[in-house]
């Protein structure tokens, strides 16, 4: 298991580092940069295209593993193939349709985001793509939240959840290193939750995503040398949303209690708070919720005197605090679950107090 974790994180990490260096170099040569101005806080052009590096660092290891598993399933495994690969070969091939469908949806959002990074498409086009991908994945793979609900309600809720988390990380990508770091923390926690539930496919996918993000993060942390862009943030949010649906949080046969279904909300409490707070501030000011500005809670922390790295690290710690406590929810009784929820609310309130300023 340790070997699997090291490979799942280490391979994409190395690939993420190399891919980010390559993409940044080509982006600067071709003038694919984000120029300062408006609500943007960087003082000089910064390379775009980081989402390409993250997407490649996620997809290439997965496709390589699938290719090897399919070839070995047909022809048998040579003696030099690691025992770990042989053990999980059949499981990999069995999950192939699910994996390809998920990656297909990610590819659509990646292309839409990449086009938007070149030339803004507007919210209507991006929302249309997000809803189309969400419906395709939910209906095609029969992925549903709260299956105890009527089918229509469950499908609708699942689609809205995918679109919400996709946009939560698109919104969160507003400061150097913020979205990538928070997403890496969430991916690690979801991997741990899935491992504790006895799953394998979901933890592998989550760890690969975490490794890719960690490989990209050194180049994106303040002062950023490359930005993820919509081509990265939408895909990252989408993948995290799908991971929460695939993870088993409630299973009476394994002793997992109903409170487990709230794990994703607790883990992603900070990104969800950002979406809610920034929408509230924009609506209160009479602006469109889709218009970029500096009303995100990360910006409000810097206006309280924090440096950009300090604000980002503060949000990392807040995310980790709520996320780690969420791991005990699937095996919690009422009193313990209430403690976890109370802690989550306290963390969010601390952020709200820290960020409060008189605009």
What pLDDT, in 10s, does the model give residues 176-197?
999 999 999 999 999 999 998 8
Q: Which whole number is the average pLDDT over 228-246?
A: 95
Structural domain tally of the chain?
1
What percentage of the chain reaches a pLDDT higher than 70?
88
The reported pLDDT for the residue numbered 289 is 72
Q: Which whole number is the average pLDDT over 86-111?
A: 82
- Domain around 79: 2-256
Question: Would residue 304 count as lying in a domain?
Answer: no
Question: Would residue 301 count as lying in a domain?
Answer: no
**Cα separation, 220 vs 308, whole angstroms:** 12
The reported pLDDT for the residue numbered 261 is 87
Residue 298 structure tokens: 């990360």
The reported pLDDT for the residue numbered 107 is 97
Question: Would residue 90 count as lying in a domain?
Answer: yes
Q: Is the peptide bond before 223 cis (omega within 30 degrees of 0)?
A: yes
Cβ–Cβ < 8 Å for 220, 226: yes
Buried b (16+ CB within 10 A) or exposed e, 57-71: bbbbbbeebbeebee
Residue 38 structure tokens: 């408006």
Q: Dihedral, CA atoms, 227, 233, 239, 243, nearest 10 degrees?
A: 100
Range scoring the smallest mean pLDDT among 113-127, 157-171, 342-356? 342-356
Instruction: Please determine, for residue 258, whether its predicted confidence score (pLDDT) is greater than 60.
Output: yes
Mean pLDDT of the chain: 86
Residue spans of alpha helices (H) in the chain: 2-30, 50-75, 83-94, 96-118, 123-141, 151-172, 178-196, 201-220, 230-246, 263-267, 269-284, 297-303, 308-326, 334-355
Question: Would residue 186 count as lying in a domain?
Answer: yes
**How many residues in total does the chain contain?**
359
Counting beta carbons within 10 angstroms of the beta carbon of residue 119, is it exposed (0 to 12), middle (13 to 18) or buried (19 or more)? exposed
For residue 60, CA distances in Å to 100, 137, 233, 274, 356 come to 12, 21, 18, 32, 43
pLDDT tens digits, one per residue of 316-330: 999 999 999 999 998
**Cα separation, 245 vs 242, whole angstroms:** 5
Instruction: Please determine, for residue 68, whether its predicted confidence score (pLDDT) is greater than 80.
Output: no
**Cα separation, 182 vs 172, whole angstroms:** 9
Range scoring the smallest mean pLDDT among 83-97, 130-144, 166-180? 83-97
Question: Would residue 96 count as lying in a domain?
Answer: yes
**Cα separation, 308 vs 294, whole angstroms:** 13
Q: Which whole number is the average pLDDT over 219-232?
A: 93
Q: How would residue 160 be classed by pLDDT, with cut points 50, 70 and 90?
A: very high
The reported pLDDT for the residue numbered 254 is 78
Q: What pTM does this model have?
A: 0.91
Q: Which whole number is the average pLDDT over 77-95?
A: 59
Give the 3-state secondary structure of residue 198. Answer: coil
**Cα separation, 19 vs 43, whole angstroms:** 25
More confident site: 172 or 305: 172
The reported pLDDT for the residue numbered 263 is 92
**Cα separation, 294 vs 285, whole angstroms:** 13
Instruction: Please determine, for residue 42, whether its predicted confidence score (pLDDT) is greater than 70.
Output: no
Counting beta carbons within 10 angstroms of the beta carbon of residue 239, is it exposed (0 to 12), middle (13 to 18) or buried (19 or more)? buried
Question: Would residue 137 count as lying in a domain?
Answer: yes
**Cα separation, 111 vs 232, whole angstroms:** 10
The reported pLDDT for the residue numbered 87 is 57
Question: Would residue 239 count as lying in a domain?
Answer: yes
Q: How would residue 112 be classed by pLDDT, with cut points 50, 70 and 90?
A: very high
């Amino acid at each position: 298991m340790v070997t699997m974790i090291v490979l799942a994180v280490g391979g994409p990490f190395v690939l993420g580092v190399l891919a980010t260096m390559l993409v940044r170099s080509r982006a600067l040569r071709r003038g694919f940069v984000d120029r300062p101005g408006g609500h943007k806080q960087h003082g000089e052009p910064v390379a775009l295209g980081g989402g390409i590096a993250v997407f490649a660092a996620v997809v290439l290891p997965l496709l390589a593993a699938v290719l090897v598993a399919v070839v070995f399933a047909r022809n048998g495994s040579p003696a030099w193939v690691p025992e770990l690969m042989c053990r999980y070969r059949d499981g990999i091939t069995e999950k192939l349709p699910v994996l390809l469908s998920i990656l297909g949806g990610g590819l659509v959002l990646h292309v839409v985001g990449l086009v938007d990074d070149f030339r803004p498409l507007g919210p209507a086009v991006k929302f249309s793509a997000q809803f189309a991908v969400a419906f395709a994945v939910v209906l095609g793979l029969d992925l549903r939240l709260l299956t105890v609900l009527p089918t229509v309600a469950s499908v609708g809720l699942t689609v809205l959840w995918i679109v919400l988390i996709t946009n939560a990380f698109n919104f969160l990508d507003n400061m150097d290193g913020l979205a990538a770091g928070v997403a890496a923390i969430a991916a690690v926690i979801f991997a741990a939750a899935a491992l504790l539930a006895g799953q394998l496919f979901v933890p592998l996918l989550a760890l690969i995503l975490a490794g890719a993000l960690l490989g990209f993060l050194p180049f994106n942390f303040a002062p950023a040398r490359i930005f993820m862009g919509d081509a990265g943030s939408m895909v990252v949010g989408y993948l995290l949303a799908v991971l929460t649906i695939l993870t088993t949080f409630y299973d009476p046969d394994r002793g997992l209690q109903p409170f487990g279904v709230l794990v994703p909300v607790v883990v992603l409490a900070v990104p969800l708070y950002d979406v809610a707070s920034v929408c509230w501030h924009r609506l209160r000011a009479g602006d469109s919720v889709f218009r970029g500005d500096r009303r995100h809670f990360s910006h409000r922390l810097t206006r309280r005197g924090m440096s950009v790295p300090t604000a980002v690290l503060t949000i990392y710690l807040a995310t980790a605090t709520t996320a780690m406590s969420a791991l005990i929810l699937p095996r919690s009784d009422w009193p313990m679950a209430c403690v976890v929820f109370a802690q989550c609310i306290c963390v969010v309130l601390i952020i709200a107090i820290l960020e409060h300023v008189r605009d």
